[in-house]
């Protein structure tokens, strides 16, 4: 989305259909009219929008640490590890901070706070649940077992609503598991790509 990586940030939140159009146009300019798509966190929300809107373009879909939008599954705040903490949200922050330290983030370009706020505002009130049953694209949904930002139960929710989806939970992995657990993440994706048929091109 605008503001990610080295891309220019937008001055206002952009609607998900427009963001999906920008994504497909960027892929076309890179010589990929049809592609496999991987979306992490809020990027997974955009990946769902792209797959519905341009399902003739997405061959296979991988969703990581993401959810269905405002219809996401909440965390169980009665968890023992959170009850042991005076402030449950501090536990979330601590887990996130532990994921955001280490050499795996040396090359990561973090978006500016304003750009990140615009990205989240773009998906305020958005939900993928009504359209997920119509997404026929082969899909792998991945989640970290100790993700305090997006509960791992959301992987099951997404996979249940999508007719050609499977889900995997990575033990002892947090929200940024593609960065902190690259080998395990890659092995799941590689096995999925080996077995998942490429979706047929359909007219939309």
If one compares 114 and 185, the residue with the highest pLDDT of the two is 185
CATH 3.40.50.1820 fits 16-195, yes or no: yes
Q: Quote helix, strand, coil % in the chain, to nearest 5.
A: 40, 15, 45
Spatial distance between the Cα atoms of 131 and 148, rounded to a whole number of angstroms: 26
Q: Give the count of beta carbons closer than 10 Å to the beta carbon of residue 141.
A: 25
Under 8 Å between Cβ of 132 and 48:
yes
Give pLDDT tens digits for 42-81: 999 999 999 999 999 999 999 999 999 999 988 765 555 5
Calculate Rg over the CA atoms of the chain.
17
Beta-bridge partners for 169: 143
Above 90 in pLDDT, residue 93?
Answer: no
| DSSP secondary structure letter of residue 111 | P
Model confidence at 92, pLDDT cuts 50, 70, 90, reads low
Under 8 Å between Cβ of 164 and 138:
yes
């Amino acid at each position: 989305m605008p503001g990610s990586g080295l891309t220019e940030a937008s001055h206002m939140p952009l609607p998900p259909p427009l963001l999906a159009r920008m994504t497909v146009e960027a892929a076309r300019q890179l010589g990929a009219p049809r592609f496999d798509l991987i979306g992490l966190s809020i990027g997974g929300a955009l990946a769902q929008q792209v797959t519905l809107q341009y399902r003739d373009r997405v061959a296979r879909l991988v969703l990581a640490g993401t959810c269905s939008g405002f219809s996401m599954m909440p965390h169980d705040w009665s968890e023992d590890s959170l009850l042991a903490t005076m402030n449950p949200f501090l536990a979330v922050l601590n887990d996130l901070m532990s994921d955001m330290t280490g050499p795996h983030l040396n090359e990561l370009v973090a978006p500016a706070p304003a750009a990140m706020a615009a990205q989240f505002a773009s998906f305020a009130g958005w939900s993928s649940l009504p359209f997920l049953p119509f997404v026929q694209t082969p899909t792998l949904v991945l989640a970290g077992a100790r993700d305090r930002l997006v509960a791992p139960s959301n992987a099951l929710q997404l996979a249940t609503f999508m007719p050609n989806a499977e889900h995997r939970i990575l033990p002892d992995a947090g929200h940024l598991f593609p960065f902190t657990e690259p080998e395990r993440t890659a092995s799941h994706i590689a096995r999925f790509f080996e077995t998942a048929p490429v979706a047929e091109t359909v007219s939309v």
